[in-house]
């Protein structure tokens, strides 16, 4: 079982966290497999997905360490604990709550807490958030990361919102340590059509783009 620090290293090394916010639990395993086969080996299943806990449990059992499965849209400690007990390897939240950080760290799991303003970001980081999820990042863009990191270069930021194949280089150039990617990668129409080969090919394009952006 990887440690908290090893999971953080893995997330940063891959550079992408696929955000699976599905309308049903159908196809979750196939979605994770398609992403993994394309090289995206870190994915979060959001708690807004019907049957999220069962999906996390099944995916973790299916893929083990080949694909790190986390949980997203976590709002409180109970959600975090339930998801970790189901097998989630990391916890992602849209906001910062100390109880979520504490619950995850008690189980030796990392947290990507959500924040937006410089004060919120610093507060989350100093309170133990392993990476800070800047959300919704699409309203401010990569330049916002540059501005925030100028006086606080020690922060580890990851954007959610506004990440696409076209914007990947800009986010890394602005200082992001990894990227959260939702609908630009995990396309609901592909899942509905069971176009797993298409999803794998798209995942590979994202992986290649990250490699290019990182030089």
Respond yes or no: is residue 44 known to be catalytic: yes
In a domain, 215, yes or no: no
Catalytic one of 6, 126, 133, 156: 133
Would you say residue 114 lies in a domain?
Answer: yes
Return the DSSP state at 154: T
Domain that holds residue 132: 4-208
Residue 87 lies in a domain: yes
How many domains does one find in the chain?
Answer: 1
CATH number at residue 165: 3.20.20.70
Q: Is 133 a catalytic residue?
A: yes
- pLDDT digit string (tens) for the chain, length 215 residues: 899 999 999 999 999 999 999 988 889 999 999 999 999 999 999 999 999 999 999 999 999 999 999 999 999 999 999 999 999 999 999 999 999 999 999 999 999 999 999 999 999 999 999 999 999 999 999 999 999 999 999 999 999 999 999 999 999 999 999 999 999 999 999 999 999 999 999 999 999 999 999 99
Residues in CB range of 37: below 8 A, 6 or more apart: 200, 203
Does residue 182 lie within any of the structural domains? yes
Question: Is residue 72, in this structure, part of any structural domain at all?
Answer: yes
Q: How far apart are CA 47 and CA 90, in angstroms?
A: 13
């Amino acid at each position: 079982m990887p440690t908290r620090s090893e999971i953080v290293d893995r997330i940063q090394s891959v550079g992408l966290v696929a955000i699976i916010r599905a309308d049903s639990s159908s196809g979750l395993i196939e979605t994770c497999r398609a992403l993994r086969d394309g090289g995206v080996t870190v994915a979060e299943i959001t708690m807004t997905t019907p049957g999220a806990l069962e999906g996390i449990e099944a995916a973790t059992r299916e893929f083990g360490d080949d694909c790190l499965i986390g949980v997203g849209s976590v709002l409180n400690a109970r959600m975090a604990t339930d998801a970790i007990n189901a097998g989630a390897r990391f916890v992602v939240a849209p906001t910062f709550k100390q109880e979520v950080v504490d619950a995850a760290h008690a189980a030796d799991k990392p947290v990507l807490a959500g924040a937006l303003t410089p004060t919120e970001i610093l507060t989350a980081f100093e309170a133990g958030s392993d990476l800070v999820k800047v959300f919704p990042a699409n309203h401010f863009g990569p330049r916002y990361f540059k501005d925030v990191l100028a006086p606080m270069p020690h922060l580890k930021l990851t954007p959610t919102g506004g990440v696409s194949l076209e914007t990947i280089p800009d986010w890394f150039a602005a200082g992001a340590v990894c990227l959260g990617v939702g609908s630009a990668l995990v396309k609901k129409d592909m899942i509905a059509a069971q176009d797993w080969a298409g999803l794998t090919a798209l995942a590979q394009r994202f992986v290649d783009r990250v490699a290019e952006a990182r030089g």
